[in-house]
Amino acid sequence: MKPFSSPSDPDDTEDSDSGGAGLFDALLAAGGVRAAVDDRAWLRAMLDVQAALARAQARLGTVPAAAAEAVTVVCRRHPFDLAAIGADATGAGNPVVPLVAALRAAVGPDVGRYVHAGATSQDILDTAAMLIVQRALRPLLRDLDRAADSAARLADAHRDTLLPARTLLQQALPTTFGLVAAGWLTALDGTADRITTARAQVPAVQLGGAAGTLASFGTDGPALVELFAAELGLAAPPLPWHTDRSRLADLAGTLGTTAGSLSKIARDVTLHAQTEVGEVAEERPGGSSTLPHKRNPVAAVTAIACAAQAPGLVATLLASMTQEHQRAAGAWHAEWRALRALLESVGSATYWLRTCLDGLRVDTARMRANLDLTGGALLAERVSGALAERLGRQQANAIVKAALVDPGPASPGPASPGLVDRLAADPQVSALLTRDQLGQLLDPAGYLGAHRELIDRALAAHGNRLSTLSKEERT
């Protein structure tokens, strides 16, 4: 492990799917979140917390300003040995204790006595975790917004592109790919809203001292919490939350929901991309080690793989809520890797779905061909409805069902002559509907409900969200 040195901007993470030493990292730890939650990021966050605590105490006058400045400079520039700190964590059960020792040694004895003054290890590590959350959710949100933008473009471009809607994996009624993409869009925007809310509400400083009473800070404790929070740009909670882990549980639930939404969309892509369906394809499909013809939707597949890890990690964080008295014996420790892995897996899933949708290719002709496979049977409900006005629902359903029993070879076109002929051959039908009327009833373009209005609503809501985000950024 190389010694640690501070980046110029600890909140600046690389948006890339390459690099890293791990065999699976480029796949399952992709995107900007990876760098925001790695070992260097955690060490950076703990050092930021130590420096902020010293500065907050200096503002109260309990630590000399020169000492706080010296601590800050060392925290930003000193090449701490990350591997040594990790190895020495076994002595106290957490990495804060060896970090404090290394920091005190780096600043010297005169300043060292002001390092970590009055704090406990959990104060530092919990607050660092909140910084990690705040920083990691930024690239995750960026990828979510880009994925939503791609879904919006698809919804707008394909608002009238016909394809079969499928229920229980069987063709049901006609729909449009624009409406499918609009459904993806609303899911992504809703997810982004929940993540934005979590990023604003979850991160809060932790400062309570050994037992959550702030006793080591005397009467300055509550004021110090406020100053400490201001230094880090985090919220100041009413009380220390050492064993109240609802903050992390709320975040876990939000991330788990995000993973589910991402996985649903990616699963749709894999189904539409099947050889027998062939309605979409990724811009850069993957190959096979043995089959030269394969065009695998790798980005969608990998998004599903990353998202599939989330439920178990969410469960770990929820199970860790049961903590003893004022400090947990093990449950707190169980959170560390679970939190990092959850952020990483959901961040990676977001990255891969964004990659998938950015270049998704749509085969409109194949969509229409698949819609015509049933020879008009998808419009049986519409014909039945037209007949029911005169014959009653039960009799109308029986007539249409009988015409569908033996459809024969499917004919091309939206209104199969075979089905029209069979319906027109029934005297009860011919007495009410002409062949032209039957052909119109079997035209899928005429039975799309409110698809245009629904797509417009999704696009308008997306536009309003973008407008709101732009105002927030300007302020």
- Write the DSSP string, 286-324: B--SS-TT--B-HHHHHHHHHHTTHHHHHHHHHHTT---
Which residues have C-beta within 8 Å of that of residue 373, sequence separation ≥ 6?
164, 171, 410
Count of structural domains, the chain: 2
Task: Please check whether residues 308 and 394 belong to one and the same domain.
Answer: no
Is residue 84 pLDDT above 90, yes or no?
yes
Please check whether residue 46 is in contact with residue 96, taking contact to mean a CB–CB distance below 8 angstroms.
yes
Task: Please check whether residues 339 and 392 belong to one and the same domain.
Answer: no
Task: Please check whether residues 343 and 246 belong to one and the same domain.
Answer: yes
Q: Mean pLDDT over all residues of the chain?
A: 91
Query: Looking at the DSSP assignment, which residues form a beta bridge with residue 361?
Result: 281
Task: Please check whether residues 311 and 423 belong to one and the same domain.
Answer: no
Q: Give the integer Cα–Cα distance in Å for 171 and 167.
A: 6
- Largest Cα separation within the chain, whole Å, is 103
The answer as to whether 400 is a domain residue is yes
Looking at the chain, the whole-number percentage of residues with pLDDT higher than 70 is 90
The answer as to whether 449 is a domain residue is no
Which of 236-250, 367-381, 392-406 is predicted least confidently?
392-406
- Report H helices in 63-120: 65-77, 82-88, 96-107, 109-112
Report CA-CA distances (Å) from 234 to 127, 226, 230: 9, 9, 6
Find the mean pLDDT for residues 312-330.
97
Looking at the chain, the whole-number percentage of residues with pLDDT higher than 90 is 81
Query: Looking at the DSSP assignment, which residues form a beta bridge with residue 4?
Result: none
Q: Give the integer Cα–Cα distance in Å for 347 and 182.
A: 22
Would you place residue 147 in the very low, low, confident or very high pLDDT band (cuts 50, 70, 90)?
A: very high
The answer as to whether 10 is a domain residue is no
Q: Are strands 162-167 and 170-176 parallel, antiparallel or unpaired?
A: antiparallel
Q: Which long-range contacts (CB under 8 A, 24 or more apart) does 318-321 make?
A: 318/249, 318/252, 320/245, 320/248, 321/245, 321/246, 321/249
- Report H helices in 108-176: 109-112, 121-157
Give buried/exposed letters for 117-137 (b at 16+ CB in 10 A, else e).
Answer: ebbbbbbbbbbbbbbbbbbbb
Active site residue 470: no
Which residues have C-beta within 8 Å of that of residue 40, sequence separation ≥ 6?
4, 82
Instruction: Give which of 182, 180, 184 is closest to 163, Cα–Cα.
Output: 180
The answer as to whether 256 is a domain residue is yes
Chosen domain end from 367, 400, 422? 367
Domain with 433, as residue range(s), is 377-441
Task: Please check whether residues 299 and 411 belong to one and the same domain.
Answer: no
Greater pLDDT, 292 or 316: 316
The answer as to whether 302 is a domain residue is yes
Instruction: Give which of 247, 42, 261 is closest to 135, Cα–Cα.
Output: 42
Task: Please check whether residues 59 and 143 belong to one and the same domain.
Answer: yes
Task: Please check whether residues 404 and 266 belong to one and the same domain.
Answer: no
Is residue 444 pLDDT above 50, yes or no?
yes
Give buried/exposed letters for 47-84 (b at 16+ CB in 10 A, else e).
Answer: bbbbbbbbbbbbbeebbeeebbebbbebbbebebbbee
The answer as to whether 317 is a domain residue is yes
Kindly write down the DSSP assignment for every residue of 368-382, as one continuous string: HHHHGGGTTGGGHHH
Please check whether residue 433 is in contact with residue 386, taking contact to mean a CB–CB distance below 8 angstroms.
yes
The answer as to whether 454 is a domain residue is no
Is residue 102 pLDDT above 70, yes or no?
yes
Token pair of 77 as six digits: 């520039």
Residue 129: give its domain's CATH number.
1.20.200.10
Q: Give the integer Cα–Cα distance in Å for 409 and 196.
A: 53
Task: Please check whether residues 60 and 185 belong to one and the same domain.
Answer: yes
Active site residue 40: no
**How confident is the model at residue 7, as a pLDDT?**
42
Active-site annotation holder among 5, 288, 430, 470: 288
Task: Please check whether residues 303 and 181 belong to one and the same domain.
Answer: yes
Chosen domain end from 367, 390, 410? 367
Instruction: Give which of 24, 80, 20 is closest to 50, Cα–Cα.
Output: 80
Fill in the DSSP letter of residue 204.
B
Task: Please check whether residues 349 and 382 belong to one and the same domain.
Answer: no
**How confident is the model at residue 67, as a pLDDT?**
98
Active-site annotation holder among 76, 166, 267, 327: 327
How many helices (H) and strands (E) the chain has is answered by: 21, 4
Task: Please check whether residues 203 and 329 belong to one and the same domain.
Answer: yes
Task: Please check whether residues 355 and 408 belong to one and the same domain.
Answer: no
Chosen domain end from 367, 386, 421? 367
Query: What's the predicted TM-score (pTM) here?
Result: 0.90
**How confident is the model at residue 92, as a pLDDT?**
92
